[in-house]
Every structure is written in C-alpha cells, then in structure tokens.
Amino acid sequence: MQHKSGQWVGFAITAVVLTFFVLLVVMWLVGWFDFSGADASAKIYSASLVFVAGIFSAVISIIGLILKYSLDQRNTDIKAQAESRLELEAAIQAVGLLSTSEGNPVPMIQRAGVLYTLTNLKFYDLALSLTSDLIAKDEIDASSAATTLDYAMKSGVQDVQESAVMVFHDNINKFLTSDGSSVVPDSLYLWQENLSIHSRYWGVFALAKMITIRCFSEWEISHLDVAVSAISLAWINEEDQSLKQDFATILKNILIVFPSLHQLFHPKQTIDIDNIRSQVDSAKPYTDGVKDLIKEIKVWATEALNSGS
C-alpha cells in the first residue's frame, strides 16, 4: 500500500515538473524570452518573467500539496496497521482467557466475555467458530451464544450473516432451554431487513426445526409464539416468491395446532393466525429441500392434535 502510494506521488511530481519545463520550452520557442532592447520587447520579456514566476510558485504549491497528501495517507495507513495489530493482540489475549494457565476451564460468563470481545473487534469468523464449538460442548449458555450470533447477523457482511445462521441451525437443539422455553437471536425474532436470501432461508428452517424438536405439549406457549411469529414475519415480508411459497407451506402445517382467534403479539406487529392460515391454506413446497422438513412438521402436528392439544 505504501509502495503504491509512493509511486503515485513520484509520478505526480514528475508530471508537474515536466509540464512546467515543457511550458518554458514552448514560451522560448514562440519568442517570449527574446529581448531586442525595444520597449515592446522589454514589456513582453518582463511579463514573461512574471508569468514564469507565478507558474513556478503554483508548481511549488502543487508539489507541496501532493507531498502533504502523501504524508497524511502514509500516517493514516500506519495508524490503521497499528490499530489492526492491537486488535489482533487483544483477540489473542481474549482467546487465551478461555482457559486458565493450568488448562482448566473458566466460568461461562468469562467465555461469554471472550466472545463479546471478539465480535466487538469484528473477528466474526473466530467468534462464530468458537461459539459453534462451545455451544456444541455445552460450555456456553444459549443466551450468550445467541447474543454472539446476533452481533454477527447485524454485521451487514453477507458471509458472516450466513455463517451465524448456520451455527444457529446446526446447533438448534442447544437453544431449547428448560421449562419449555427457548432462545432466538434478535435478528431472527425481529426479522432483520438486510438478511441475505441464504440467511432468510436457513433462518426459517432453523426456527421450524426448533419447533418440531420439542413436543407441542412441552412448549411454554409464549416461547412457541416467538418462533412462530418470527416465521410469520419472515413470510409477510419476503419478496422472493420461491422463499415466500416455502415459508407459506411451513406455516400452513405449523398453524394446524393453533386454535382459532389466536393472535401473536410481536414487537413489530400483532399477527392474526386466522388471517395467515387462510392465506397459506393452498400453499405447496416450491423447493425440494423443504419437503423433508414439512414431513417432520406434519409428524409433530399430528402428535400434538392426537394428544388433545
């Protein structure tokens, strides 16, 4: 970066100086510097010298501005590199806090602090990799893991968003907590608008799988409503017709177990189950990938209805 910047500055200064000397040669060739002793010649000669002096002053100013810009850019690059090194050192130190000097595990709150630090430093890939490993081993609580995933989903970086959603999807059973409750990243619950199409697809799949892993009768209804309302919001706001059709099919089979006049009170809007049910009643899967999920949902719903729920 600095090498390219130095080359650019050298070329710019060379171009300015060459332009100045070319101008002098042209002025000399047209006779502006010829002095015959006549009054008219003296005036032209004097005006030429004044003009050259002005041009020379302008050239010096331009070169000064170029050098100043170059130095400012170099200082900015050095500062950015220094900050990057400090962030890397902080990340390394943070990872070192995942265990004691003797190699023993540290409290969960300390692990959560490490993940928080990494996401704030924008080391998303490392944070997500650690989150996936820790949540799979039950070495971090679901709430801390969901918070890390939420930060990654809000990063605005498509690859990071998708990786975070896949960590949630692949470890979905770990986000089911005791007493029929569950934990969902805010970006999915509130259905963040800038989620990529891949993130939206797998986000809804993850929420649907979360629902089917636990029997209907074992769900705390408000937590079940969280997952269903998130899927409903995803369907309402989806513009891609293939995804919208798949989401509609998922909802159609989930909403069978809900009673009439049931409403979901989501922070963004109140969701009328009967209204959605009527709109998705004829929905069919658009992609083959959703068909196996629909089979799981149907088994879950049938069990719920047969149990008298």
Q: What is the structure's pLDDT at 26?
A: 65
Are 72 and 176 contained in the same domain?
no
Taking CA atoms, 71 is separated from 5, 64, 74, in Å, by 10, 10, 5
Asked if pLDDT for residue 130 goes beyond 60, the answer is: yes
In the structure, what pLDDT confidence band is assigned to residue 56 with cuts at 50, 70 and 90?
low
Residue 103 counted as domain residue? no
Q: What is the structure's pLDDT at 117?
A: 83
Question: With the CA atoms of 120, 157, 165 and 204 taken in that order, what torsion angle do they form, in degrees rounded to the nearest 10?
Answer: 130
Asked if pLDDT for residue 79 goes beyond 80, the answer is: no
- Proportion of the chain above pLDDT 70, given as a percent: 68
Are 63 and 164 contained in the same domain?
no
The rounded mean pLDDT for the chain is 82
Are 169 and 72 contained in the same domain?
no
Residue 177 counted as domain residue? yes
Of 87, 119, 139, the domain-final residue: 87
- Proportion of the chain above pLDDT 90, given as a percent: 50
Asked which of 137-146, 188-197, 261-270, 291-300 is least confident by mean pLDDT, the reply is: 261-270
- CB-based contacts of 79, cutoff 8 Å, min separation 6: none
Q: What is the structure's pLDDT at 177?
A: 92
Taking CA atoms, 19 is separated from 14, 23, 24, 50, 164, in Å, by 8, 6, 9, 18, 56
Residue 214 counted as domain residue? yes
Q: What is the structure's pLDDT at 52?
A: 64
Residue 135 counted as domain residue? no
| 300 and 218 Cβ atoms separated by less than 8 Å | no
Domain assignment of residue 163, given as a range: 156-306
Asked if pLDDT for residue 8 goes beyond 70, the answer is: no
Residue 119 counted as domain residue? no
Residue 208 counted as domain residue? yes
Residue 144 counted as domain residue? no
Asked which of 16-30, 71-85, 117-131, 228-242 is least confident by mean pLDDT, the reply is: 71-85
Are 202 and 299 contained in the same domain?
yes
| 129 and 171 Cβ atoms separated by less than 8 Å | no
Please give the average per-residue pLDDT across 4-17, as a whole number.
Answer: 64
Cα-to-chain-centroid distance, residue 284:
32
Of 44, 60, 87, the domain-final residue: 87
Question: What's the domain count of the chain?
Answer: 2
Residue 77 counted as domain residue? yes
Are 183 and 273 contained in the same domain?
yes
pTM: 0.71
Higher pLDDT, 64 or 140: 140
Rank 21-30, 95-104, 114-123 by mean pLDDT and report only the highest.
114-123
Are 60 and 198 contained in the same domain?
no
Asked if pLDDT for residue 115 goes beyond 90, the answer is: no
